[in-house]
Homo-oligomer: A and B are copies of this chain.
Amino acid sequence: MEEAPPQQERMMFAGMVGAAQVLGLASVVLTGVWMGHYRGGFAWDGSSYQFNVHPLCMVLGLVFLQGDAILVYRVFRNEAKRNVKILHGVIHLLALIVTVVGIVAVFDFHRAAKIPDMYSLHSWCGMLTVALFCTQWVMGLMFFLFPVASSWLRASYLPVHVFCGLVLVVMSIGSSLLGITEKLLFSIMSSYSTLPAEGVLANVLGLVLVLFGVILCYLITREEFRRPPNPEEESLSVHFKTLTEGGSPHSP
């Protein structure tokens, strides 16, 4: 709340950002341990070891990196907007590359093993998320990094871009949970109900992903963690045609 002392607010913010980083990294590590230890490791040969690359890449790219790309606007909210914007774009580029590798991994595996594609709810939700992620990426590039739209249009699009970014992270987490459930039922359906170590680890991974998403959404939607308006930024970033040009009161 606005009434909270700034010192306490800063500490809460730092604690939550730290927690998000720990949870995000933990989700990548848990996925790596699950695929590396319980599912036999990684390869790029069309085998099930190539499939194992898929969950790791999706959690790293679409969840952790995408989440952190959004968080930079809060973590570096006192840095020049131009630099933060470039960092946001670069982390998103990394997320996109890792995501594409993850998608190729599973389609390659399906082709080699003659498993049909795109029939499950996980694949429908996942592909929808990736398609929207790519659309959001291109739109963000056009509107904010190399702005081709008018200032008014950019200012109008900004809240939609921010909203869609959060929806995308949540959809990525949801698709990951569906993938976890699918993988568990395909691999250990007969023993899952006895809660073997692999089942517990995968369930915990699911909860870690949920908690990462909740903290991320909280940090992004709370008014007091927003980037403060800075009139000097406009002159600093004039070559960059930042959104502040449009006179919008909103910061991403």
A70 beta carbon closer than 8 Å to chain B: no
Interface residues of A in 178-235 (CB under 8 A from B): 178, 180-182, 184-186, 189, 192-195, 199, 202-203, 206-207, 210, 214, 217-218, 221-222
Closest to A123 in B: B203
Q: Is the CB of A3 within 8 A of B156?
A: yes
- We find that the number of chain A residues with CB closer than 8 angstroms to chain B is 45
A135 beta carbon closer than 8 Å to chain B: no
Q: Is the CB of B221 within 8 A of A121?
A: no
Q: How far is the CB of A107 from chain B (nearest CB, A)?
A: 15
Q: Residue-by-residue, is A99-125 near B (CB-CB < 8 Å gives 1, otherwise 0)?
A: 000000000000000011001111011
Q: Is the CB of A125 within 8 A of B218?
A: no
Quickly give the copy total for this chain: 2
Binds B, one of A47-55, A82-90, A169-177: A169-177
Q: Is the CB of A218 within 8 A of B163?
A: yes
With A167-B217, A210-B171 known as contacts, the answer to whether A180 contacts B1 (CB < 8 A) is no
A128 beta carbon closer than 8 Å to chain B: yes
Using a CB–CB cutoff of 8 Å, the interface residues on chain A facing chain B are 1, 3, 115-116, 119-122, 124-125, 128, 152, 155-156, 159, 163, 167, 170-171, 173-174, 177-178, 180-182, 184-186, 189, 192-195, 199, 202-203, 206-207, 210, 214, 217-218, 221-222
Q: Is the CB of B125 within 8 A of A199?
A: no
> CA A252 – CA B222 in complex, angstroms?
14
Q: Which residues of B contact A115 (CB under 8 A)?
A: 193
Q: Is the CB of A206 within 8 A of B156?
A: no
Q: Is the CB of B156 within 8 A of A210?
A: no
Q: Which residues of B contact A173 (CB under 8 A)?
A: 174
Q: Which residues of B contact A194 (CB under 8 A)?
A: 116, 119
Q: Which residues of B contact A170 (CB under 8 A)?
A: 170
Cβ-neighbour of A206 out of B119, B124, B177, B217 (below 8 A):
B124
Q: Is the CB of B121 within 8 A of A203?
A: yes
Q: Is the CB of B1 within 8 A of A206?
A: no
Q: Is the CB of A125 within 8 A of B210?
A: yes
Q: Which residues of B contact A193 (CB under 8 A)?
A: 115-116, 119-120
